[in-house]
Amino acid sequence: MSSKINKSWERVRSEIHSPEGINELKNNIKSGLIKQYSGMFQSMFYAEFKSPEFEDMAIMSRDTVPEKFLFKNGRCCWFKDDRTNQIHCLPFVENANGINMYGQINEWSPVPVGYTDDKRGTYSAEVERIRNMKLTADNSVIMKNDLFGLGDMAFVESMVNELVDNILTMNQLQLLAAYPFVFNVTEDNLLTAKNFFLAVAEHRPVIFTNLNGEKSLPMVEKIEAKIDPALFELFDRFECQLLEFAGFPCVPITKRAQQTVSEVQSNSEKIRAKRWEKFNQRDKAYDRIRRMWNVEVVLHSLIDEWIDEQKKDEGEKEVPEDE
Protein backbone atom coordinates (compact mmCIF):
# COMPACT_ATOMS: atom_id res chain seq x y z
CA MET A 1 0.00 0.00 0.00
CA SER A 2 1.34 3.39 -0.92
CA SER A 3 2.35 6.13 1.46
CA LYS A 4 -0.74 8.05 0.38
CA ILE A 5 -2.94 5.79 2.48
CA ASN A 6 -0.42 5.27 5.27
CA LYS A 7 -0.19 8.98 6.06
CA SER A 8 -3.89 9.74 5.86
CA TRP A 9 -5.40 10.26 9.33
CA GLU A 10 -2.35 8.56 10.72
CA ARG A 11 -2.01 8.22 14.49
CA VAL A 12 0.68 6.63 16.59
CA ARG A 13 -0.02 3.40 18.44
CA SER A 14 -0.21 5.07 21.86
CA GLU A 15 -2.96 7.37 20.61
CA ILE A 16 -4.93 4.47 19.22
CA HIS A 17 -4.85 2.59 22.52
CA SER A 18 -5.21 5.72 24.66
CA PRO A 19 -7.92 7.96 23.18
CA GLU A 20 -7.98 11.62 24.08
CA GLY A 21 -9.17 12.13 27.67
CA ILE A 22 -8.84 8.47 28.65
CA ASN A 23 -6.10 9.11 31.21
CA GLU A 24 -8.11 11.87 32.87
CA LEU A 25 -11.15 9.60 32.91
CA LYS A 26 -9.12 6.76 34.42
CA ASN A 27 -7.59 8.98 37.11
CA ASN A 28 -10.97 10.49 38.03
CA ILE A 29 -12.61 7.08 38.34
CA LYS A 30 -9.74 5.69 40.38
CA SER A 31 -9.66 8.71 42.67
CA GLY A 32 -13.40 8.54 43.25
CA LEU A 33 -13.42 4.81 44.00
CA ILE A 34 -10.43 5.03 46.35
CA LYS A 35 -12.14 7.83 48.28
CA GLN A 36 -15.34 5.82 48.44
CA TYR A 37 -13.85 2.57 49.72
CA SER A 38 -11.18 4.23 51.88
CA GLY A 39 -13.91 6.17 53.61
CA MET A 40 -15.91 3.00 54.19
CA PHE A 41 -12.91 1.13 55.59
CA GLN A 42 -12.06 3.99 57.95
CA SER A 43 -15.66 4.38 59.13
CA MET A 44 -16.26 0.79 60.21
CA PHE A 45 -15.16 1.43 63.80
CA TYR A 46 -15.35 4.60 65.82
CA ALA A 47 -14.44 5.46 69.38
CA GLU A 48 -16.08 7.84 71.81
CA PHE A 49 -13.31 9.65 73.65
CA LYS A 50 -15.06 10.85 76.79
CA SER A 51 -12.05 12.05 78.78
CA PRO A 52 -10.54 15.53 78.38
CA GLU A 53 -7.09 13.99 77.79
CA PHE A 54 -8.14 13.27 74.17
CA GLU A 55 -9.29 16.79 73.26
CA ASP A 56 -6.08 18.02 71.62
CA MET A 57 -5.77 14.85 69.54
CA ALA A 58 -9.35 15.10 68.29
CA ILE A 59 -9.01 18.77 67.35
CA MET A 60 -5.56 18.53 65.78
CA SER A 61 -6.33 15.37 63.76
CA ARG A 62 -9.83 16.52 62.69
CA ASP A 63 -11.24 13.36 64.31
CA THR A 64 -9.39 11.05 61.89
CA VAL A 65 -7.34 9.18 64.52
CA PRO A 66 -6.67 6.29 64.86
CA GLU A 67 -8.46 4.82 61.81
CA LYS A 68 -6.47 6.88 59.31
CA PHE A 69 -3.17 5.46 60.57
CA LEU A 70 -4.49 1.91 60.91
CA PHE A 71 -5.80 1.96 57.33
CA LYS A 72 -2.51 3.22 55.87
CA ASN A 73 0.15 1.79 58.18
CA GLY A 74 -1.56 -1.08 59.98
CA ARG A 75 -0.27 0.08 63.37
CA CYS A 76 -0.10 3.18 65.53
CA CYS A 77 1.01 4.01 69.05
CA TRP A 78 -0.80 5.81 71.84
CA PHE A 79 1.20 7.86 74.32
CA LYS A 80 0.70 10.59 76.86
CA ASP A 81 2.50 13.90 76.58
CA ASP A 82 3.33 14.72 80.20
CA ARG A 83 4.01 18.34 79.32
CA THR A 84 0.44 18.95 78.13
CA ASN A 85 -1.25 16.03 79.94
CA GLN A 86 -2.79 15.04 76.59
CA ILE A 87 -2.99 11.59 74.99
CA HIS A 88 -1.99 11.35 71.32
CA CYS A 89 -1.88 8.71 68.61
CA LEU A 90 0.74 8.61 65.83
CA PRO A 91 2.58 6.20 63.54
CA PHE A 92 5.87 5.00 64.97
CA VAL A 93 9.27 3.59 64.07
CA GLU A 94 11.03 0.79 65.85
CA ASN A 95 14.24 1.63 67.68
CA ALA A 96 17.29 -0.63 67.69
CA ASN A 97 17.05 -1.49 71.35
CA GLY A 98 16.61 -5.27 71.22
CA ILE A 99 13.56 -7.50 71.29
CA ASN A 100 11.80 -9.36 74.08
CA MET A 101 11.48 -13.11 74.54
CA TYR A 102 8.45 -13.17 72.21
CA GLY A 103 10.35 -11.54 69.37
CA GLN A 104 8.65 -8.16 69.79
CA ILE A 105 10.43 -4.81 69.88
CA ASN A 106 11.30 -3.20 73.20
CA GLU A 107 11.28 0.47 72.19
CA TRP A 108 9.73 2.74 69.57
CA SER A 109 9.33 6.44 68.79
CA PRO A 110 6.30 8.33 67.45
CA VAL A 111 6.54 9.96 64.02
CA PRO A 112 4.55 13.18 63.48
CA VAL A 113 2.65 13.24 60.19
CA GLY A 114 4.87 14.47 57.35
CA TYR A 115 8.06 14.13 59.39
CA THR A 116 11.14 12.83 57.57
CA ASP A 117 14.46 12.10 59.26
CA ASP A 118 16.44 13.72 56.47
CA LYS A 119 14.94 17.07 57.55
CA ARG A 120 15.46 16.47 61.23
CA GLY A 121 16.17 19.74 63.03
CA THR A 122 14.14 21.90 60.65
CA TYR A 123 10.78 21.33 62.33
CA SER A 124 9.32 23.20 65.28
CA ALA A 125 10.67 22.46 68.73
CA GLU A 126 7.36 20.82 69.70
CA VAL A 127 7.44 18.43 66.74
CA GLU A 128 11.10 17.58 67.34
CA ARG A 129 10.35 16.88 71.01
CA ILE A 130 7.61 14.41 70.11
CA ARG A 131 9.78 12.70 67.48
CA ASN A 132 12.61 12.22 70.02
CA MET A 133 10.42 10.49 72.59
CA LYS A 134 11.41 6.96 73.56
CA LEU A 135 8.37 4.79 74.19
CA THR A 136 7.96 1.31 75.63
CA ALA A 137 5.11 -0.93 76.75
CA ASP A 138 5.28 0.81 80.13
CA ASN A 139 4.33 4.27 78.85
CA SER A 140 2.51 3.66 75.56
CA VAL A 141 0.13 1.29 73.78
CA ILE A 142 0.49 -0.15 70.27
CA MET A 143 -2.76 -0.64 68.36
CA LYS A 144 -3.00 -2.94 65.33
CA ASN A 145 -5.44 -2.88 62.44
CA ASP A 146 -5.68 -6.66 62.37
CA LEU A 147 -3.94 -9.70 63.78
CA PHE A 148 -0.90 -9.10 61.57
CA GLY A 149 -0.68 -5.34 62.02
CA LEU A 150 -1.05 -4.65 58.31
CA GLY A 151 -2.85 -1.79 56.62
CA ASP A 152 -5.68 -2.13 54.10
CA MET A 153 -4.67 0.65 51.72
CA ALA A 154 -2.57 -1.49 49.36
CA PHE A 155 -5.35 -4.05 48.97
CA VAL A 156 -7.95 -1.35 48.35
CA GLU A 157 -5.80 0.27 45.67
CA SER A 158 -5.17 -3.08 43.95
CA MET A 159 -8.87 -3.96 43.89
CA VAL A 160 -9.78 -0.46 42.70
CA ASN A 161 -7.38 -0.93 39.77
CA GLU A 162 -9.35 -4.05 38.81
CA LEU A 163 -12.63 -2.14 39.05
CA VAL A 164 -11.23 0.72 36.97
CA ASP A 165 -10.12 -1.70 34.23
CA ASN A 166 -13.59 -3.19 34.24
CA ILE A 167 -15.25 0.22 33.91
CA LEU A 168 -12.89 1.33 31.13
CA THR A 169 -13.58 -1.91 29.24
CA MET A 170 -17.29 -1.16 29.32
CA ASN A 171 -16.54 2.42 28.31
CA GLN A 172 -14.52 1.21 25.32
CA LEU A 173 -17.33 -1.10 24.23
CA GLN A 174 -19.76 1.81 24.43
CA LEU A 175 -17.49 3.82 22.15
CA LEU A 176 -17.28 0.93 19.69
CA ALA A 177 -21.05 0.55 19.74
CA ALA A 178 -21.38 4.22 18.83
CA TYR A 179 -19.18 3.79 15.74
CA PRO A 180 -19.96 0.32 14.38
CA PHE A 181 -18.30 0.70 10.97
CA VAL A 182 -15.32 -0.90 9.28
CA PHE A 183 -14.46 0.41 5.81
CA ASN A 184 -12.76 -1.82 3.27
CA VAL A 185 -10.99 0.78 1.14
CA THR A 186 -8.51 1.23 -1.68
CA GLU A 187 -6.52 4.28 -2.72
CA ASP A 188 -9.30 5.28 -5.07
CA ASN A 189 -12.16 5.41 -2.58
CA LEU A 190 -10.33 6.28 0.66
CA LEU A 191 -11.42 9.94 0.47
CA THR A 192 -15.01 8.85 -0.14
CA ALA A 193 -14.88 6.63 2.92
CA LYS A 194 -13.55 9.51 5.06
CA ASN A 195 -16.28 11.84 3.86
CA PHE A 196 -18.90 9.17 4.51
CA PHE A 197 -17.59 8.68 8.06
CA LEU A 198 -17.65 12.42 8.72
CA ALA A 199 -21.22 12.60 7.48
CA VAL A 200 -22.23 9.75 9.80
CA ALA A 201 -20.40 11.38 12.74
CA GLU A 202 -22.32 14.61 12.08
CA HIS A 203 -25.63 12.68 12.14
CA ARG A 204 -26.65 13.79 8.66
CA PRO A 205 -30.04 12.28 7.70
CA VAL A 206 -29.08 12.02 3.99
CA ILE A 207 -25.72 11.15 2.47
CA PHE A 208 -25.12 11.50 -1.29
CA THR A 209 -22.52 9.36 -3.02
CA ASN A 210 -21.22 8.95 -6.59
CA LEU A 211 -22.93 5.87 -7.97
CA ASN A 212 -21.39 5.77 -11.47
CA GLY A 213 -17.87 6.96 -10.76
CA GLU A 214 -14.92 4.69 -10.23
CA LYS A 215 -14.57 5.92 -6.65
CA SER A 216 -17.76 4.27 -5.46
CA LEU A 217 -18.68 3.89 -1.83
CA PRO A 218 -16.44 1.33 -0.13
CA MET A 219 -17.86 -1.79 1.46
CA VAL A 220 -19.02 -1.12 5.02
CA GLU A 221 -19.17 -3.78 7.73
CA LYS A 222 -20.82 -3.39 11.12
CA ILE A 223 -18.83 -4.36 14.19
CA GLU A 224 -21.94 -4.75 16.36
CA ALA A 225 -19.95 -4.50 19.58
CA LYS A 226 -22.03 -5.47 22.59
CA ILE A 227 -21.45 -4.96 26.28
CA ASP A 228 -21.25 -8.40 27.83
CA PRO A 229 -23.44 -8.67 30.96
CA ALA A 230 -20.59 -10.68 32.47
CA LEU A 231 -18.67 -7.42 32.86
CA PHE A 232 -21.32 -6.14 35.27
CA GLU A 233 -21.22 -9.43 37.14
CA LEU A 234 -17.43 -9.25 37.32
CA PHE A 235 -17.56 -5.71 38.74
CA ASP A 236 -20.11 -6.88 41.32
CA ARG A 237 -17.91 -9.80 42.39
CA PHE A 238 -14.79 -7.64 42.64
CA GLU A 239 -16.65 -5.12 44.77
CA CYS A 240 -18.03 -7.79 47.08
CA GLN A 241 -14.57 -9.29 47.49
CA LEU A 242 -13.28 -5.87 48.46
CA LEU A 243 -16.07 -5.23 50.95
CA GLU A 244 -15.88 -8.71 52.47
CA PHE A 245 -12.18 -8.18 53.10
CA ALA A 246 -13.11 -5.28 55.36
CA GLY A 247 -15.96 -7.14 57.02
CA PHE A 248 -18.93 -5.61 55.20
CA PRO A 249 -21.78 -8.05 54.45
CA CYS A 250 -21.97 -8.39 50.67
CA VAL A 251 -23.34 -11.04 48.30
CA PRO A 252 -23.00 -10.67 44.51
CA ILE A 253 -26.34 -9.95 42.88
CA THR A 254 -26.13 -13.03 40.67
CA LYS A 255 -25.66 -15.30 43.71
CA ARG A 256 -28.32 -13.91 46.00
CA ALA A 257 -31.21 -15.87 44.52
CA GLN A 258 -29.13 -19.05 44.32
CA GLN A 259 -27.89 -19.21 47.89
CA THR A 260 -29.48 -21.48 50.44
CA VAL A 261 -30.13 -20.38 54.02
CA SER A 262 -27.10 -22.35 55.26
CA GLU A 263 -24.85 -20.73 52.64
CA VAL A 264 -26.02 -17.26 53.64
CA GLN A 265 -25.37 -18.01 57.31
CA SER A 266 -21.94 -19.48 56.57
CA ASN A 267 -20.94 -16.46 54.51
CA SER A 268 -22.22 -14.08 57.19
CA GLU A 269 -20.21 -15.85 59.90
CA LYS A 270 -17.05 -15.67 57.79
CA ILE A 271 -17.46 -11.93 57.29
CA ARG A 272 -18.33 -11.42 60.97
CA ALA A 273 -15.15 -13.29 61.98
CA LYS A 274 -13.07 -10.92 59.84
CA ARG A 275 -14.81 -7.93 61.35
CA TRP A 276 -14.36 -9.30 64.87
CA GLU A 277 -10.63 -9.77 64.28
CA LYS A 278 -10.24 -6.04 63.66
CA PHE A 279 -12.59 -5.07 66.45
CA ASN A 280 -10.74 -7.28 68.92
CA GLN A 281 -7.35 -5.69 68.18
CA ARG A 282 -8.77 -2.23 68.79
CA ASP A 283 -10.68 -3.29 71.87
CA LYS A 284 -7.59 -4.80 73.51
CA ALA A 285 -5.60 -1.64 72.88
CA TYR A 286 -8.33 0.61 74.26
CA ASP A 287 -8.58 -1.60 77.34
CA ARG A 288 -4.86 -1.07 78.00
CA ILE A 289 -5.31 2.67 77.44
CA ARG A 290 -8.11 2.78 80.02
CA ARG A 291 -6.04 0.98 82.61
CA MET A 292 -2.79 2.83 81.91
CA TRP A 293 -4.15 6.39 82.08
CA ASN A 294 -7.50 5.94 83.84
CA VAL A 295 -9.52 7.43 80.98
CA GLU A 296 -12.90 6.65 79.47
CA VAL A 297 -13.20 5.52 75.85
CA VAL A 298 -15.91 3.41 74.21
CA LEU A 299 -15.38 1.46 70.97
CA HIS A 300 -18.21 0.92 68.49
CA SER A 301 -18.59 -1.34 65.46
CA LEU A 302 -20.79 0.55 63.03
CA ILE A 303 -21.79 -2.51 60.98
CA ASP A 304 -22.75 -4.59 64.01
CA GLU A 305 -24.81 -1.73 65.38
CA TRP A 306 -26.65 -1.46 62.07
CA ILE A 307 -27.28 -5.22 62.01
CA ASP A 308 -28.58 -5.14 65.58
CA GLU A 309 -30.90 -2.23 64.76
CA GLN A 310 -32.18 -4.06 61.69
CA LYS A 311 -32.90 -7.21 63.70
CA LYS A 312 -34.63 -5.13 66.35
CA ASP A 313 -36.81 -3.40 63.74
CA GLU A 314 -37.69 -6.73 62.12
CA GLY A 315 -38.56 -8.18 65.51
CA GLU A 316 -40.86 -5.26 66.29
CA LYS A 317 -42.64 -5.71 62.96
CA GLU A 318 -43.29 -9.39 63.71
CA VAL A 319 -44.94 -8.64 67.06
CA PRO A 320 -48.71 -8.84 66.52
CA GLU A 321 -50.75 -5.82 67.48
CA ASP A 322 -53.21 -6.10 70.36
CA GLU A 323 -56.74 -6.53 69.18
10 has pLDDT over 70 = no
Q: What is the mean pLDDT of residues 122-145?
A: 95
230 has pLDDT over 70 = yes
pLDDT in tens, 72-92: 999 999 999 999 999 999 999
Q: What is the mean pLDDT of residues 143-171?
A: 94
269 has pLDDT over 90 = no
Q: What is the DSSP string of 204-230?
A: -S-----SSSSSPPPEEE-------HH
Predicted TM-score (pTM) of this structure: 0.77
192 has pLDDT over 90 = no
Domains and CATH numbers, the chain: 39-178+261-314 (2.40.500.10)
258 has pLDDT over 50 = yes
With vertex at residue 45, the alpha carbon angle to CA 79 and CA 31, rounded to the nearest 5 degrees, is 100
State what percent of residues in the chain have pLDDT above 90.
54
Burial class of 255 by CB neighbour count within 10 A (0 to 12, 13 to 18, 19+) = middle
Cβ-contact 131, 109 below 8 angstroms: yes
20 has pLDDT over 50 = yes
pLDDT in tens, 202-223: 767 666 666 655 555 556 666 5
With vertex at residue 196, the alpha carbon angle to CA 195 and CA 202, rounded to the nearest 5 degrees, is 90
Between 240 and 178, the more confident residue is 240
Q: What is the mean pLDDT of residues 287-296?
A: 98
Between 52 and 119, the more confident residue is 52
Q: Per-residue confidence at 21, pLDDT binned at 50, 70, 90?
A: confident
User: In this predicted structure, which of 191-200, 204-213, 222-231, 249-258 has the lowest mean pLDDT?
Assistant: 204-213
256 has pLDDT over 70 = no
